[in-house]
Structure 1
Amino acid sequence: MWQPARLAPPPQKFDAPRALWYPLRPPRQPHSWRPPDCWRGTRGDTSIKKAAAKAPIQASTEYRANSDIRAVSVRVIGADGANLGDLLLSEALRVAREADLDLVEVSPNAKPPVCRILDLGKFLYEKSKKDKEARKSQKVIEIKEFRLRPKTADHHRSFKVRDARKWLLDGMKVRVRIRFRGREITLPEVAHEDMREIVADLADVSHVESEALIEGRTMIMMLAPGIAKAPA
């Protein structure tokens, strides 16, 4: 006799509260990303600029003056250049105040340190003026360079020599550099011959300051402006 198939029993109901069916998750945090400090201040953010503007500007000087002097006793030179001898710092400051001038430490490494009574502002101005004039008087010699290869064509080398002549007449030094490639390093006499020809072409406006030497795969020679003096 036919009988219906048995069905599986229905699943048992989960009696736990619904809140325990799924794992708990923390509440979503609000968006808190902010750009790194290196990005800030480039556009629209002026906080860094404002902070820098509020920073006090301190006068930088290489001389200690007045209350900045740390020595207990100092050797004092008066405003007229007279040596006032060794005085306590408090006494030296009193003398400077009476003259309405400053006490400036000019030789801190001396024992005791040497101080002068003078006008600090005027002293620093005159010193900066002298330093500026000294920098102007210093002659800076510029070094130019041209490069060649062994067996460089004569017409190509003539252009290089022409430029070197102009530089030498302007008071510049010229570095001649010959670069070896491949097996050219086995024929240094060819590069020496090129160097001798360059020296001969520029002999009327220059002299050899350093002879041609090989450094690695390069031969270098230095020419200086002016004709070499004949030995006495």
Structure 2
Amino acid sequence: MGRLIRWLIVFPLLGLLLYVGHPFLLRAMGRYLITEDRLQKAEAIVVLAGDGGVARTLEAVRLYQDGYAPRIILTHQRLPKGYEALARLGITVPEERDVQWMILKAMRIPANVVLQVNERADSTESEMAYLARLLKQHRIGTVILVTDRSHSTRANKILVRVSGGKVAIISRPTRYDTFDPEGWWRSRADAKEVLMEYEKLFNYLLQSMGVGVTGWLKDESHPAVPVEATF
């Protein structure tokens, strides 16, 4: 019901904006979703989960190979629907993290430079909370944040919030993402991304006015382990 109410608010507002300001506002909407900072060296490269494990991981590999950071951090997402049912049938299907390790190994990334977040996040908010705790425990204060283009603004805002502004963030959308902020409304896939991101941004705004997710940082369980034996 809450999701329906948010959509009933967001859609009319978007419709009004599009009617009044098309196409200038359409382009502005697409551009706003992208936050890309000037690249500089950091303490770690963070790969956010959620793209199937390919484009974001490959971007992190390129950044690592170019010497922008000595470590790579992988967050974790919940299993896709039906995955456990397949497992019960004895069918093994690689999940996102398996794909990431395949890429890291193929690109000859040393296993001992990688940290994993163990908790499976069910949202960007929980993902960033687990990540912020990892960064605090490992005393990492500067990160390059790798995600999709349309996800980069929201991801950046949430990490700033849950880390209390104590982490310097260099936002780096993957170069392998084809999202086009200048003509997103011409692509069904891009249009879906924009609508979903604005709905989630609206939800984030509501959450930021209520109880934050920073309380999760008080959890004492260790969220990450080195993965020397992963390969």
State the TM-score bracket (shorter-chain normalisation): under 0.3
Q: Which has the larger radius of gyration?
A: 1
Higher relative contact order (CA closer than 8 Å, sequence separation 6+): 2
Instruction: Please identify which structure carries the higher helix content.
Output: 2
TM-score, normalization: structure 2? Answer: 0.25
TM-score, normalization: structure 1? Answer: 0.25
